[in-house]
Amino acid sequence: MTVRIGQAEFWKTGGFLQAAVLLSAAFPIMPFFARSASVILLLIVALLEFRKISKSEWRLFTVLFCLAYLGLVFSLIVTQNLDKGFNELGQLAPLILLPLAFFLLRDQLTSVLLKRFVVVFIASTFLLVFYQLVRIGLQWNQLFGPITESEVIAFNLDLLPSVPDFLVDRVTGHRLREFTIDVTGTHPTYQALWLVTSVYFLAKEPLLWLTKKWYYLILIILVFGWVYFIGSRMGQIAVVLVLFISLFTQISARRWQFIVFGVLIAGLWFMANHPRFKEIAEGFNPSITSDHIAHYNSSNVRLATWRCAVETIENNPWSGTGVGDIQPSLDLCYKNNYDAPVFTWDQYNTHNQYLHFWATAGIIGLALFVLQLFALSRRLLKLQSKDGFAVFLIAILFMLTENILVRSDGIHFFATFTAFYVYTKR
């Protein structure tokens, strides 16, 4: 009898509901199957809380969270590989299912629960980094040891009389990034996206860094070091922008504003003169040959992906290729235009979310996606949700160089945060 009363009290106070919501915030450390289970659990809890919803609320939900997905659904009309098309749409379903759950739970989403959600998200993100640091420490010699014969062959370095140090560093960096992807199942770009967002939240009280909460400063330094270490260039730019804007807007003293601005300029000068960033500048050359790894970097590879994305759009500007045929179309372009082994190492998408929707679903798909982003931004501004709008801006910044909404890592981030801020009670 006592157990039954306890369970009733637990449900009455919304304990299980809060647990389901907070579990969805821990997606950075969840494997794919666990994320799927958390989405199902959240939906079940949301359906149990279902209340009558007006037609106007459903229409608003459709505009805010369904337009882009509907554009991909419509692209099935021109898709030849329907099996792959339906499979892609199934993987992208959380784009709608997660916001739907928060929509149904809108009467239960409080500002206190939102703060807890952010804390769980930040803790999960840093746990992911610490886990990788431990794994790297345990396999230090293997990761930073001499390059192997198989790597020499894989990167065409056997064509050189000797391998210079900078190419050895390039291979080692590639080895490290592949290791982090293997142990986490997450691409470095998404780690950077989560960490930049964490920095935004941690930087909201900068004046406390040197007193009671000085450990925030250590965490932020760790973030910048790790983002630089894993080679996420958009992440590096975003960290600097978020820190500068957060500090400059929250410090009222003019003298300290000049100091912050000076530190920013000094930091940018240091980065511009660092060999890593000189490599980036030199890499903006769209010619990719079949030679060794010295001719490959994320800059010119992205230029190649953007060129093929534009070529795909030019071939199908109005209807797109269809959601099931976009990757084969890009792969064919890489093969026809670039005789480079780099495009056999992995599948390269458009690396731009806007080009992706245009190439996949045509001009209508792009228009629906842009309209959804516009509606979301307008809604967040109307609700005066500064944090929600900031997270939204970080996401669309990353969309310039990555397809954030085609992988579980990006979908869970974008869908949960935007929906939570839209439907939180104020």
pTM of the predicted model as reported, rounded to 2 decimal places: 0.87
Band (157; pLDDT cuts 50, 70, 90):
confident
In this predicted structure, the answer to whether residue 136 has a pLDDT above a threshold of 50 is: yes
pLDDT at position 9 is 43
The CA distances from residue 273 to 44, 233, 267, 268, 269, in Å, are 53, 15, 10, 9, 6
The pLDDT of residue 292 is above 60: no
90: pLDDT strictly greater than 90? yes
Dihedral, 160, 165, 166, 167 alpha carbons, nearest 10? 40
Confidence of residue 228 (pLDDT cuts 50, 70, 90): confident
Query: Tell me, what's the pLDDT at 279?
Result: 53
Question: Does position 209 have pLDDT exceeding 50, yes or no?
Answer: no
Query: How many CA atoms does the CB half-sphere of 254 hold within 13 Å?
Result: 0
First-last CA distance in the chain: 38
pLDDT at residue 267 in the model: 65
pLDDT grade for 275, boundaries at 50, 70 and 90: low
- For the chain, the C-alpha Rg in angstroms (whole number) is 23
